[in-house]
């Protein structure tokens, strides 16, 4: 894997270069080196998955031949330059997973040959430019996970080639335009997690090839239109968390390819969500491929609808939090593929730790547990990624998935993930700690040891002001301790060991006066102990071994550390005498100062340490014991 800066000299004599792909390396620095203007014949520029930073320069508009521009998964910030409108040959523009924080320039609508536009997972604001009506060739438009706002205008009618429209997790308002029905090639429609109001337009039934329809987590009202029965290619229908009313239309039985049905958290009544009326007869008979049925949190009453027992491929059935009555439906025993049955009213704690469970979480229906406050699936054999749907646990307070075989990225916390107080993901995860981790405003304990993060601890960690335990050991490939940590005034345990930290210890750390356990061992920290450490009067365990610390080993302010039990500073480059104040640490049991540059005599006051014991120095901190190494 290549790293460092992209050298300017490389491009001096490459005037005929048309394709440049440096994806998946560790290049850093600005996007376009000075001599990059020598390669104006470029048609494709791909710099995804690097560490490039800074802004996208106006000079990008000079590359008039550019057809493909992909800069995703970097740390680019600032605005999208208006000069991008000069790239009239551009067909694919992918800027997702950066830190862009401007409005979308109206000049982008001049790139009329655009086929793919992906600006997702940034911090873009403002409305969709009206100039987007010019993008008549657009087939994939992804703007999800931003802060875009305004109403969805009638520009939809010009996007007749569109197959994917993904604008979920924004703050769009207003109605879903009836012009949506003109997008006859649309297969993926994701409008969830916005502030959309009004009814679901009946014109949506004109999109005959639609396969995925997600309108959940909005403020939609009215009934489900009967025309939805025209969507015979539909596989996923997600309408949960709205204010829908009325009955489930019987036409839903026409959706013979349906695999996932989520109508929970509405005001439908009857036998689905809080719909009224009865559950459609023969529903199971005509939807043979349905694998996931979620009708939870409604006002369904009466006996269990036995038509559901005709769904021979059903994996997940959730009708919890309703008013169903009668005997347990014995016909469910015929559904041999079922993995989850949830007919309960309130499940709050689910602990299946240490059971040797294998498989993945991808198919786990987290929506089946709407009232779950505790989920412990640690110490199993679970593999694959952590699905983003885990964010649907809107009531959960304790989440532990550590000691499994999970990998991939940490899912971005969604807008509902505000109740979590304990978060344990000691796995082999990649990528970065999401910057919107600050959404977990009630978080008290965060355990993220033994992952493979590629970037430093984000400054946003300082926004978790209720945090008491932060374990981030063996996670990073480089970085420093962010000064924003000073905001964590409730912090009691901090473990950043084995993280390749290569800075000085920030003096701000000494303002975390409630610190009880501090573990910074096995890094490349340098410089002296900050004088502000004199404020750490609650410290009981301090681990600083295997660093490059220098200066006076034990400043005289150690007399403030009267609660200290363990002090390990061996294998550093500290100097000076052992101060007589060492004798004031009367609770000290473990003291390791070897392999430094100490001089002078051993003070006789050390004889006052009656609790000193003989034990090998720590070789690794076992964070599995909740921040208690001894």
What CATH number is given to the structural domain containing 137? 3.80.10.10
In a domain, 299, yes or no: no
- Buried/exposed code over 100-118 (b: 16+ C-beta within 10 A; e: otherwise): bebebbebbbbbeebbbbb
Query: What pLDDT sits at residue 33?
Result: 73
Residue 366 has pLDDT above 80, yes or no: no
Query: Residue 444 domain-assigned?
Result: no
Task: Supply the pLDDT for residue 349.
Answer: 59
pLDDT band of residue 623 (cuts 50, 70, 90) is very low
Residue 373's alpha-carbon distances to 317, 393, 415, 464, in angstroms, are: 20, 8, 17, 20
Asked if residue 409 is part of any domain, the answer here is no
The CA-CA-CA angle for residues 522, 523, 528, to 5°, reads: 110
- Please tell me the distance from the alpha carbon of residue 414 to that of residue 389, in angstroms, as a whole number: 9
Q: What CA–CA distance (Å, rounded) separates 80 from 73? A: 15
Distance from C-alpha of 592 to C-alpha of 565, rounded to nearest angstrom: 12
Residues 29-86: tens digit of each pLDDT: 988 776 677 888 999 999 999 999 999 999 999 999 999 999 999 999 999 999 999 9
The reply to whether 162 falls in a domain is no
Least confident segment among 49-63, 172-186, 336-350? 336-350
Q: Is residue 115 part of a domain?
A: yes
Say whether pLDDT at 298 is over 90.
no
Q: Average pLDDT of 601-610?
A: 90
CA atoms of 36 and 34, how far apart (whole Å): 5
pTM of the model: 0.53
Report if residue 52 sits inside a domain: yes
In a domain, 33, yes or no: yes
Those residues whose C-beta lies under 8 Å from the C-beta of residue 625, and which sit 6 or more positions away, are: none
Domain that holds residue 72: 1-148
User: What is the pLDDT at residue 14?
Assistant: 85
Assess whether pLDDT exceeds 60 at residue 465.
Answer: yes
The predicted pLDDT at position 628 comes to: 39
Residue 273 reports pLDDT greater than 60: no
The total of structural domains in the chain comes to 1
d(CA 247, CA 269): 7
The model's confidence at residue 492, banded by pLDDT at 50, 70 and 90, is very high
DSSP assignment letter at 394: T
Answer with the residue of higher pLDDT: 506 or 379. 506
> Averaged over 307-334, what is the pLDDT?
71
E strands along 339-444, which residues?
A: 340-342, 349-351, 358-360, 374-376, 381-385, 398-400, 405-407, 422-424
- Contact of 493 with 627, CB cutoff 8 Å: yes
Greatest mean pLDDT range, 266-280, 302-316, 367-381, 430-444? 302-316
Within-domain flag for 78? yes
DSSP state of 450: S
């Amino acid at each position: 894997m290549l790293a460092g800066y992209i050298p300017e000299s490389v491009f001096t004599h490459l005037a005929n270069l048309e394709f440049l792909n440096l994806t998946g390396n560790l290049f850093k620095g600005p996007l376009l080196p000075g001599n990059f203007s020598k390669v104006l014949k470029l048609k494709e520029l791909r710099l995804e998955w690097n560490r490039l930073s800074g802004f996208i320069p106006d000079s990008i508009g000079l590359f008039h031949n550019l057809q493909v521009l992909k800069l995703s998964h970097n740390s680019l910030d600032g605005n999208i330059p208006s000069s991008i409108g000069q790239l009239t040959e551009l067909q694919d523009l992918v800027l997702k997973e950066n830190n862009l924080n401007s409005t979308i320039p109206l000049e982008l609508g001049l790139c009329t040959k655009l086929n793919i536009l992906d600006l997702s997972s940034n911090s873009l604001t403002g409305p969709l430019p009206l100039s987007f009506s010019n993008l008549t060739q657009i087939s994939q438009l992804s703007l999800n996970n931003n802060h875009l706002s305004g109403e969805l205008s009638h520009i939809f009618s010009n996007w007749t080639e569109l197959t994917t429209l993904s604008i979920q997790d924004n703050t769009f308002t207003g109605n879903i335009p009836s012009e949506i029905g003109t997008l006859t090639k649309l297969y993926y429609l994701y409008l969830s997690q916005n502030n959309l109001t009004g009814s679901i337009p009946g014109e949506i039934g004109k999109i005959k090839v639609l396969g995925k329809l997600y309108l959940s987590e909005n403020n939609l009202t009215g009934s489900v239109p009967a025309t939805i029965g025209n969507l015979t290619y539909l596989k996923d229908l997600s309408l949960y968390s709205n204010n829908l009313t009325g009955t489930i239309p019987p036409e839903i039985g026409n959706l013979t390819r349906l695999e996932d049905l989520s109508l929970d958290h509405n005001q439908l009544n009857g036998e689905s969500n809080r719909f009224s009326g009865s559950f459609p007869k023969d529903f199971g008979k005509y939807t043979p491929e349905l694998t996931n049925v979620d009708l939870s949190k409604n006002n369904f009453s009466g006996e269990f609808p036995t038509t559901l027992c005709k769904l021979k491929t059903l994996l997940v059935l959730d009708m919890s939090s309703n008013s169903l009555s009668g005997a347990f439906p014995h016909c469910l025993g015929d559904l041999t593929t079922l993995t989850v049955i949830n007919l309960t009213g309130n499940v709050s704690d689910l602990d299946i730790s240490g059971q040797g469970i294998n498989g993945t979480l991808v198919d786990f229906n987290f929506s089946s547990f709407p009232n779950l406050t505790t989920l412990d699936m640690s110490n199993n054999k679970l593999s694959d990624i952590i699905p983003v749907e885990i964010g649907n646990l809107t009531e959960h307070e304790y989440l532990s998935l550590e000691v499994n075989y999970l990998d991939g990225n940490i899912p971005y916390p969604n807008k509902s993930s505000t109740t979590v107080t304990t978060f344990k993901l000691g796995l082999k995860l990649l990528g970065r700690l999401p910057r919107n981790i600050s959404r977990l405003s009630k978080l008290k304990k965060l355990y993220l040891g033994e992952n493979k993060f590629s970037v430093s601890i984000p400054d946003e960690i300082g926004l978790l002001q209720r945090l008491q335990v932060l374990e981030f050991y063996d996670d990073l490939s480089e970085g420093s301790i962010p000064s924003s940590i000073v905001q964590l005034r409730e912090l009691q345990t901090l473990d950043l060991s084995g993280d390749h930290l290569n800075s000085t210890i920030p003096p701000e750390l000494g303002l975390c006066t409630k610190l009880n356990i501090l573990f910074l061992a096995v890094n490349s920290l340098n410089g002296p102990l900050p004088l502000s450490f004199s404020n750490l009067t609650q410290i009981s365990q301090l681990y600083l071994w295997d660093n490059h610390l220098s200066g006076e080993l034990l400043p005289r302010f150690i007399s403030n550390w009267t609660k200290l039990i363990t002090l390990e500073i061996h294998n550093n480059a500290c100097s000076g005498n052992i101060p007589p104040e060492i004798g004031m640490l009367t609770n000290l049991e473990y003291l390791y100062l070897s392999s430094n540059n100490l001089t002078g005599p051993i003070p006789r006051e050390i004889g006052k340490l009656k609790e000193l014991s003989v034990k090998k120095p720590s070789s690794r901190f076992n964070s599995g014991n909740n921040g208690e190494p001894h």
